[in-house]
Chain A
Amino acid sequence: MKNKFSLQKQHQKEALMGYAFIAPQMLGFLFFIMIPLISIFVYSIHTKNLLFGTNIWCGMDNYKALFYDSVFLKTIKNTIFFSLGVVPINLICSLFLAFYLCNNYKENKYLKTIVFLPVVTSGVAWAIVFKYILQGGTDGPLNYFLSLIGIQGPNWLHDTHTAMISVIITRVIKNLGTNVLIFSGAILNLPNSLIEAATLDGAKGIKLFTKIKLPLLMPSILMVMMVTVIGSMRVFDTIKLMTDGGPEGSTMVIVYYIYHQAFKMFNTGYASSISVILFSSVLVLTIIQWSLRKRLSYYEN
């Protein structure tokens, strides 16, 4: 009896210790993520102005106004375009790079460093440097090199046709390294026995890749895709620093519009309703991808 009691006490102590260890993270999550997240839903049904201190219940008015807000509708279009650009380019490039790097894993030390370098660079510095590189005329380094081979480059960030693509490429190169790292890990852990068996059965080249390696990599691919989609919908710093939403609003994305409404207009209520829309769309996308994961990656343990 006595023994059992002390064992129970031991368990309690251990549990307490465990909670103490996760407390800092959980408290941070509670105060900086959970509570603000719930507040956003409450704010979104109020006409709330942070500067004037107004806070009046308005039901669904904020959401109704969204449908008539041409800028908001434009930001949705832009965000979708941005994600559709970033996600496939990022996935394909990082998968390709990961395979290339894994082929000669030891010799590619320098290339690996170069690919991963942008990830550890500050996003702000990255955007400013690219803004410099992408200047129009022949003043920017990129256009200067293009002019050497006889191509007249556009004013990348100030041309409606090229601004979004420039931002997308900037963003992709910045985040490529993380995904390459995840894919490399997955590729190096591919079960050799399966590949050997397939090779013995005569599979090689593209067939080996599409029928054996790709399905085995599906869990990592889906995970990376989810993270990249969410990340791309939350883009802010690159846009703010490189184009400020222009030209002609062609790079105005949702998060930037939220910032604009909340911190320039102080329309906190309205901004919150946009945030709710963004939150819901990301949630829905994640659920879709999660269910895809169950269906597509049957090799997952």
Chain B
Amino acid sequence: MIYNQDLFIQAGIDTPKEMQAKGEWTWEEFKEACAIITAKTGEYAYQTPDGGGYDARILHNLTPIIRAYGGDIWTENNEIKINSPESVKAITLFHDMLYKDGSVVPPGNQTDFYSGDVAITMGQISRLSKLKDASFDWGIISMPKGPKGEFAIIGQAAICASKNSKNSELAAELIAYMTSKTCVERMAGIWPPARESVMESDVFLNSNKMINKDDMQNVVGHSIKNGKVISSNINYPQIDVESRMEWDKLWNKDADVQAVTDAVAKIYAKYIK
């Protein structure tokens, strides 16, 4: 998470780091802090990842909260858990932040964290490049905890070469080069790979000039080590477009979280077997 320290101070509450030191960095306390910031400063407190938490990045936004409460989207064994009581509880927490507290940048709103108008957002360290000319004090912190612990998301991407390609060997060679030590060292500050040897290296800890060694180890490295990828499936594009029609029903004041997630689970079940 990336936060705007000025807005926390302006609201007269502990900064995330102070909350963490006191052992208060939980989703419950996070929700409360956000409500106070909005009430005191008139600004939105939380922005979903890249503002896409209601459409393209809906799972990026909800997964860390859901997993912290013991739920999941679907598990590695393809067990659909989006409508489990734990997941519903977590989604309700976010829904309350959005509609009861009014502390989250709502759907369609263009207010942006990186221009200093929101107190905290979720993002990967590559996003820090947007803060180069920031006019406010900022910091990074690991995810808040839930009853089941702390869950971060690791960015996921895959490179594949087609089996039928004439150049599959060459492609493999390219990937080997891209993931070689020299290349990884060059990219570690923006896209650190989830490899232990990288996490523990000095090169990684000094790789991003905008983050000190401490944060690199305790926030970035820590989140990657404890993080998990988002539930994925080969049919995700189709799942995404169909489930979004149900998810969209969540984005109004009187939405029934259980009913919406039940409907979403039904669509998931069509594709995830």
Residues of A within 8 A of B (CB): 51-53, 71, 131-132, 134-137, 139, 155-160, 244-249, 252, 260, 264-265
Contact = CB atoms under 8 A, between A and B. Distances in A.
Given A136-B107, A139-B110, A245-B244, 10 more contacts: A135-B110, A137-B109, A139-B111, A158-B54, A244-B56, A245-B241, A246-B55, A248-B246, A249-B241, A260-B241
Residue from A51, A157, A246, A264 having most chain B Cβ neighbours under 10 A: A246
B238 interface: yes
Contacts of B137: none
A72 to B, nearest CB: 11
B134 interface: no
Contact of A155 (B107, B110, B237, B245): B107
Contacts of A131: 108, 110
Nearest to B252: A159
28 contacts: A52-B162, A53-B164, A71-B245, A131-B108, A132-B110, A135-B108, A135-B109, A136-B107, A139-B109, A155-B107, A158-B54, A158-B106, A158-B251, A160-B248, A244-B55, A245-B244, A246-B55, A246-B244, A246-B248, A247-B248, A247-B251, A248-B245, A248-B246, A248-B248, A252-B241, A260-B237, A260-B241, A264-B241
A249 B109 contact: no
Interface string B137-150: 00000000000000
Interface string B229-247: 0000000011001101110
B162 A158 contact: no
B89 interface: no
A264 B56 contact: no
B228 interface: no
B249 A134 contact: no
Nearest to A159: B252
A160 B251 CA distance: 11
A259 to B, nearest CB: 11
A264 B237 CA distance: 6
Nearest to A54: B164
A51 B158 CA distance: 14
A159 B241 CA distance: 17
Interface of B: 54-56, 106-111, 162, 164, 237-238, 241-242, 244-246, 248-249, 251-252
Contacts of B245: 71, 246, 248-249
A127 to B, nearest CB: 13
Given A71-B241, A248-B248, A157 B162 contact: no
A150 to B, nearest CB: 21
Contacts of B241: 71, 245, 249, 252, 260, 264
Contacts of A137: 106, 109
Contacts of B246: 248
B197 to A, nearest CB: 32
Contacts of B242: 71
B107 A158 contact: yes
A248 B107 CA distance: 13
Residue from B54, B111, B244, B249 having most chain A Cβ neighbours under 10 A: B244
A244 B54 CA distance: 11
Closest 5 CB pairs of A and B: A247-B248, A249-B245, A264-B237, A248-B248, A158-B107
Contact of B108 (A51, A53, A158, A160): A158
A131 B246 CA distance: 22
Contacts of A265: 237-238
Contacts of A53: 162, 164
Contacts of A252: 241
A260 B56 CA distance: 13
Contacts of A264: 237, 241
Contacts of B107: 136, 155, 158
A136 B99 CA distance: 13
A157 B251 CA distance: 12
A136 B106 contact: yes
A155 B106 contact: yes
